[in-house]
A = this chain, B = another copy of it.
Amino acid sequence: MRKSSQKPFKNRILQSSRSKKTRIVLAIDVNDGPPKELSDRATDLIEQTLQWICAVKLGRQTILCIGPERTAELLRKIHGSGLTTIIDDKLNDIDETNAAITRAYHNLGFDAITVNPFTGWKGGLEATFKLAHERGMGLLALVYMSHPGASEGYGQKILSNARSKKTRLEFEIFAERAVKWKADGAVVGATRPSIVLRAKEILGTSVPIFSPGVGTQGGEIARSLKAGTDYFIIGRSITTAKNPGNVAEEFAKASVDLDT
């Protein structure tokens, strides 16, 4: 279990990103093989890319397949390399369940968890934010996902004021919740740079933007970076490459291009 006395997640990932000159979060999803093989593959991917990443995000399918003991062991190795870890849960349940799931992930060793603001606060995510922040765990709020159908949810027009008939876009409401709830990050797909730009206006510098969708899904680092992305979550483009280290290096260099 990670100690709550350490710095907040937001600061830890920023420090790692700056010292290693990379904004890349490696997304690892391994789920087609025996547990030991999968956790070995994950370890191997991290070792090959270690120099070029500032955090590791694991998918739920990976944990479902490798089980809690191997997950805890894998997280210990990742922490040993000085990296923070994110579980991509997209949490969206009632308070007691959310808290139990968050606690279980924290006990395994995760440093941060993704949550869906659609869940709402009272009896929903309130307990999770309280629990996670007490434990020094980070919370990344989904603001706009990277797939085409995301527009059916995150892109909906919401009637925010019945009298004035004023409408808001769902993701703008979610970005406001991320600020209000003191989230440690907001997830906005790199596939929609204009949305990244608009989300940044709301999030400012208090909530960094994590963008999935680069590479396989069609997003581009340069455009998304200009629009306001702080970290890129990249999986398949790196993990299925012949030489994951080389690809991670290219992405890492592109991700700090504007800084130099």
Contact = CB atoms under 8 A, between A and B. Distances in A.
A118 B120 contact: no
B119 A148 contact: no
A12 interface: no
Interface in A80-132: 88, 90, 92-97, 100-101, 103-105, 108, 116, 118-126
Contact of A120 (B105, B119, B150, B167): B150
Contact of A104 (B65, B105, B156, B165): B65
Given A67-B69, A69-B67, A92-B92, A101 B149 contact: no
A11 B176 CA distance: 44
Given A94-B145, A157-B158, A165-B165, A118 B121 contact: no
A60 interface: yes
A120 B146 CA distance: 11
B90 A92 contact: yes
A97 B147 CA distance: 11
Interface string A147-188: 111111100111100100101001000000000000000000
Interface string A68-83: 1100000000000000
The residue among A69, A101, A118 with the most chain B CB atoms within 10 A of its own CB is A118
Interface residues of A, number: 54
Nearest to A69: B67
A59 interface: yes
A64 interface: yes
Contacts of A101: 59-61, 64
**Copies per complex of this chain:** 2
A31 interface: yes
Given A94-B147, A123-B147, 15 more contacts: A29-B100, A31-B104, A61-B103, A64-B105, A94-B146, A94-B217, A119-B149, A120-B149, A120-B150, A120-B151, A121-B149, A124-B152, A126-B149, A156-B159, A157-B159
21 contacts: A29-B96, A29-B100, A59-B97, A60-B97, A61-B100, A61-B101, A64-B108, A65-B68, A90-B92, A92-B116, A95-B147, A119-B152, A120-B149, A120-B152, A122-B148, A123-B149, A124-B148, A156-B170, A157-B158, A157-B162, A158-B159
* Closest 4 A/B residue pairs (Cβ): A120-B149, A123-B147, A120-B152, A124-B149
